[in-house]
């Protein structure tokens, strides 16, 4: 029997890692050419408390809504919500020390090593973390003596890790002659893995669903593999292994920033076919993008806001009579023939599927698209990405005579939202709104929410094409508006 | 208005704006010679 696939649960996490900014692609290159920049970066790092209080982060983990954020005067890094917390209905903000301890604990080759004293400083907090367990504690062990760490850096070319100027650990190369397993790439992959593990463990904790998940789809952007199969994957299965999904297999979907949307559509199709009852889509954070726009932040005397690794876990399952349905009849595809102008992409992802469904643009309650935080992008001259995309959407509505030109600004305010996601590529693309959409489509008054995301295929130099994928989440026909779950 | 006829152009497009090849096509139609065009993603 055909199943209607639902989004049953969502977790979105932020691992605050200010001391890993220096390992981001842009900071690393700039520090190499001018080592004094490291001190500028360290002096502009945010405290954990400031990262928690940052209004977009509170929206990201579901403690506040995008509407709340729209009412906060910018720049947001100078403001805070009074009731800020590191824990929200959609996820958590995780402190760096705890994050690194988990990363070391679930590193099966013991390439990331932490100083014994550094681990000891975090033991109490680790015992309270919902996503850290007894087995992790055992795997973490006692840590590594400082002298051994120094030897690994000096004699074996390990990458040193610091907290400020304090030497707290290192990452060994995965192979002495394989650049695909260099310490920098191993760190990138391990942090992507552990950030995704946090999100999937929180997802499983909420519903105790780990053993019920049959398939895990990874949608991160890291290239897992050695020199003979760089990018071969499969991070999804590694994350499943460390998240209690013992009955799951999995694979990775690669599609740049729109990979999460591809993964959700594929996961929904797997559930609809009856092949799996429950599919998890997971995405880890992107270390390379830490501090990507740090120069703009330094120039404007701001803290460096790209100091978090974002991660996501989404549970897709059979219709439970309550959760929002992924409407497979209104999937938007950016085909090879579609063209790569913003208008062509928007028509393929938004207008065409709505027409197919007999809906107009105004029939959808909210649109989630590229939700990059403008506090991060504007200081470096990259503009306000969500607003640009919502204006393209508004112009389509004008073209289709659903609104007038004078109504474009109101349309953007009503159907769009401010960007509240860190610039973590695939994570920023529409999916940070999933938790908010779940609530508005179950206990709120919404009927349809569209998620559309774009992928920059041209960055890989294999094609000049873009990509994109959209889906519509629809209120479950069996729920009444305002009904509580 | 800048005269493009006979000039060489490097077209840098943007994912959320105008793609590089589209800028290059316009410049070519105005008589410019495209040296290289590409599209960047700035987020």
Task: Decide if A385 touches B, using CB distance below 8 A.
Answer: yes
Interchain pair B39, A464: CB under 8 A: yes
CB spacing of B43 vs A377 below 8 angstroms = yes
Q: What percent of chain A has pLDDT over 90?
A: 95
SS (H, E, C) chain B: CCCCCCCEEEEEEECCCCCHHHHHHHHHHCCCEEEEEEEECCC
pLDDT digits (tens, 9 = 90+) for A270-299: 999 999 999 999 999 999 999 999 999 999
Tens digit of each residue's pLDDT (9 = 90 or more) over A440-470: 999 999 999 999 999 999 999 999 999 999 9
Q: A372 and B18 in contact by Cβ < 8 A?
A: no
Does the ipTM surpass 0.85? no
End-to-end CA distance of chain B: 31
Residues of B in contact with A384 (CB under 8 A): none
Q: Could you report the per-residue pLDDT of A113-147, keeping only the tens digit for each?
A: 999 999 999 999 999 999 999 999 999 999 999 99
Those residues whose C-beta lies under 8 Å from the C-beta of residue A110, and which sit 6 or more positions away, are: none
CA distance B20 to chain A (A): 9
Residues in B touching A341 (Cβ below 8 Å): 18-19, 22
Whole-prediction pTM value?
0.96
Contact A56, A50 (CB under 8 A): no
Q: B1: distance to nearest CA of chain A, Å?
A: 24
Give the confidence band of B16 by pLDDT, cuts at 50, 70, 90: confident
Using the beta-carbon criterion (under 8 Å), do B15 and A428 form an inter-chain contact?
A: no
Cβ of residue A383 closer than 8 Å to a chain B Cβ: yes
User: pLDDT tens digit string along A342-352?
Assistant: 889 999 999 99
Q: How far is B11 from chain A (nearest CA, A)?
A: 13
- Tokens 């402190």, located at residue: A95
User: pLDDT band at A485, cuts 50/70/90?
Assistant: very low
Residues A31 and A166: their CA atoms lie apart, in Å, by 18
Which residues contact residue A228 at a Cβ distance below 8 angstroms, ignoring those fewer than 6 apart? Answer: none
Burial of A29 (0-12, 13-18, 19+ CB in 10 A): exposed
Residue A15, Ramachandran bin (φ over 0: left; ψ between -120 and 50: alpha; else beta): beta
Q: How far is CA A379 from CA A44, A120, A300, A373, A385, in A?
A: 15, 39, 7, 11, 13
Extract long-range pairs of A319-322: CB within 8 Å, 24+ residues apart: A319/A3, A319/A4, A319/A5, A319/A6, A319/A476, A320/A6, A320/A8, A321/A476, A321/A478, A321/A479, A322/A6, A322/A442, A322/A476, A322/A478, A322/A479, A322/A485
Residues of chain B whose C-beta is under 8 A from some C-beta in A?
15-22, 38-43
* Subunit contact A458:B38, Cβ cutoff 8 A: yes
A220 alpha carbon, distance to own chain's centre: 8
Inspect the interface and report whether the beta carbons of A388 and B42 lie closer than 8 Å. Answer: no
Give the confidence band of B17 by pLDDT, cuts at 50, 70, 90: confident
- Work out the mean pLDDT of chain A and round it to a whole number: 96
C-beta separation of A451 from A430 below 8 A: yes
Across residues A396-413, what is the average pLDDT? 97
Subunit contact A454:B17, Cβ cutoff 8 A:
no
Partner residue opposite B15 with nearest CB, options A377, A428, A466: A466
Domain boundaries, chain A: 5-318, 325-474
Residues of A in contact with B22 (CB under 8 A): 340-341
Residue with tokens 């996820």: A91
A203 Cβ neighbours under 8 A, 6+ residues apart:
A9, A10, A11, A209, A280, A313, A314, A315
* pLDDT per position as a tens digit, A7-42: 999 999 999 999 999 999 999 999 999 999 999 999
Tell me the domain boundaries of chain B: 8-40
- Looking at CA atoms only, how far is residue B41 from chain A in angstroms? 7
Cβ atoms of residues A260 and A430 within 8 Å = yes
Residue A334 C-alpha from the chain's centroid = 22
Mean pLDDT, rounded, for A402-422: 98
Give yes or no for A458 touching B (CB within 8 A). Answer: yes
User: Class of the A325-474 domain?
Assistant: alpha beta
Residue of B16, B20, B22, B25 to mutate, interface with A, max A Cβ within 10 Å: B16
Chain B's closest residue to A377, CA to CA, is: B43
Distance CA A304, CA A176 (A): 34
Structure tokens belonging to residue A421: 């996601």
Closest CA to A71 of A86, A90, A58, A52: A58
């Amino acid at each position: 029997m055909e199943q209607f696939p639902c989004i049953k649960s969502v977790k979105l996490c932020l691992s605050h890692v200010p001391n890993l900014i220096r390992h981001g692609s842009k900071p690393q290159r700039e520090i190499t050419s001018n080592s004094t920049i490291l001190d500028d970066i360290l002096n502009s790092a945010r405290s954990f408390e400031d990262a928690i209080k940052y209004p977009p982060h509170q929206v990201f983990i579901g403690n506040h809504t995008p509407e709340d954020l729209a009412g906060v005067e910018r720049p947001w890094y100078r403001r805070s919500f009074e009731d800020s917390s590191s824990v929200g209905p959609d996820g958590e903000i995780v402190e760096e020390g705890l994050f690194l301890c988990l990363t070391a604990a679930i590193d099966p080759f013991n390439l990331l090593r932490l100083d014994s004293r550094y681990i000891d400083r975090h033991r109490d907090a680790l015992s309270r973390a919902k996503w850290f367990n007894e087995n992790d504690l055992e795997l973490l062990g006692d840590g590594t003596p400082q002298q051994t760490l120094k030897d690994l850096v000096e004699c074996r070319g390990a990458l040193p890790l610091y907290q400020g100027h304090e030497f707290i650990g290192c990452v060994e190369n995965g192979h002495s002659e394989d650049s695909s397993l260099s310490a920098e790439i191993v760190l990138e992959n391990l942090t992507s893995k552990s950030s995704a593990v946090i999100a999937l463990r929180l997802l499983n904790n909420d519903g105790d669903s780990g053993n019920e998940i049959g398939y895990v789809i990874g949608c991160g952007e890291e290239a897992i593999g050695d020199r003979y199969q760089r990018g071969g994957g499969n991070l999804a299965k590694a994350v499943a292994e460390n998240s209690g999904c013992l009955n799951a297999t999995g694979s990775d979907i690669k599609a740049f920033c729109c990979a999460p949307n591809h993964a959700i559509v594929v996961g929904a199709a797997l559930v609809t076919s009856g092949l799996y009852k429950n599919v998890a889509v997971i995405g880890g954070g992107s270390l390379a993008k830490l501090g990507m726009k740090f120069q703009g932040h330094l120039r404007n005397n701001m803290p460096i806001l790209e100091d978090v690794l974002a991660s996501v876990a989404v549970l897709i399952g059979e219709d439970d009579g309550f959760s929002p349905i992924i409407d497979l009849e209104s999937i938007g595809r950016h085909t090879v023939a579609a063209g790569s102008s913003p208008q062509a992409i928007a028509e393929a992802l938004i207008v065409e599927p709505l027409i197919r469904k007999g809906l107009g643009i105004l029939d959808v309650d909210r649109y989630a698209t590229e939700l990059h935080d403008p506090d991060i992008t504007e200081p470096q001259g990259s503009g306000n990405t969500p607003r640009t995309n919502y204006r393209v959407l508004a112009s389509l509505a004008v073209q289709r005579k659903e609104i007038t030109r004078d109504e474009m600004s109101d349309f953007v305010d009503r159907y769009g939202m401010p960007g509240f996601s860190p610039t973590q590529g695939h994570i920023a693309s529409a999916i940070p709104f999933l938790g908010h959409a779940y609530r508005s489509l179950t206990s709120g008054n919404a009927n349809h929410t569209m998620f559309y995301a774009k992928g920059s295929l041209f960055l890989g130099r294999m094609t000049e094409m873009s990509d994109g994928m959209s889906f519509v989440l629809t209120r479950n026909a069996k729920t009444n508006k305002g009904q509580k779950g | 208005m800048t005269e493009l006829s006979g000039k060489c152009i490097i077209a840098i497009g943007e994912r959320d704006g105008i793609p590089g090849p589209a800028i290059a096509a316009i410049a070519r139609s105005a008589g410019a010679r495209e040296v290289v065009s590409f599209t960047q993603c700035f987020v």
